[in-house]
Amino acid sequence: MSGIDESLRPQKSRITIFDEPVICSFCSHDVYIPYEVFVNVEQPGVDVRHVRYIAICQHCGKAKQFGDPSHFEKDEFIWALNQYLISIRSYKIKVSFYVGKKNNDKITKFTNKLIQDFGIEKENINISYLKGVAELQIKISSLNEIQTIRTQIMNSARRLFITIKDLTIK
């Protein structure tokens, strides 16, 4: 993740500011979990708040506080903070669903929807079809938990009027 207009995710990651890694001054490691903090820097009662970050070193537990020095320069926005997530998980998904005898369009539409939703490459999908039941075997890498992935697949199937027979995520 780099140069994106969103907050740092509170996940184990490496953080850079202007492409320089954030290094712990206590133990010299560079793996952190960043958290967004709102700080009232004006007089009490004015309620003007600024966003700061506190990152917790995953080796020694020391907290490091920093801001986002991103700024405009000659009509161009210069991104300062970059985050490189470490904990991307891989999943194997097996989906069995009912299709009619002449309804290969359902398989194609559902496959294309999963490719779009999860950013899957076609080589990571195996399709088999037997007696009105299609089975997809998919390999994905995602930051999401199993329950979130299951919900996304079920919602995609529901929108396409597909009845899921079996859904396994490992």
The answer to whether 160 touches 113, Cβ cutoff 8 Å, is yes
Last residue of a domain, one of 30, 64, 85: 85
Same domain, 135 and 66: no
Same domain, 78 and 98: no
Weakest mean pLDDT among 3-7, 15-19, 57-61, 119-123: 3-7
Last residue of a domain, one of 85, 114, 144: 85
* Mean pLDDT within 58-63: 90
Number of compact structural domains in the chain = 2
Last residue of a domain, one of 40, 58, 85: 85
Model confidence at 35: pLDDT above 90: yes
Same domain, 59 and 97: no
What are the phi and psi torsion angles at 43 (to 5°)? -65, 150
Model confidence at 120: pLDDT above 50: yes
Could you tell me if residue 5 is inside a domain?
no
Could you tell me if residue 60 is inside a domain?
yes
Could you tell me if residue 2 is inside a domain?
no
Model confidence at 1: pLDDT above 50: no
For a pLDDT cut of 70, what percent of the chain falls above it? 89
Same domain, 50 and 112: no
Banded model confidence at residue 101, pLDDT cuts 50, 70, 90: low
Residue 61, CA distances (Å) to 10, 30, 64, 99, 135 in order: 15, 12, 10, 53, 46
Banded model confidence at residue 15, pLDDT cuts 50, 70, 90: very high
Could you tell me if residue 8 is inside a domain?
no
Q: What is the domain range of residue 68?
A: 13-85
Q: What is the pLDDT of residue 3?
A: 46
Banded model confidence at residue 62, pLDDT cuts 50, 70, 90: very high
Could you tell me if residue 93 is inside a domain?
yes
Model confidence at 4: pLDDT above 60: no
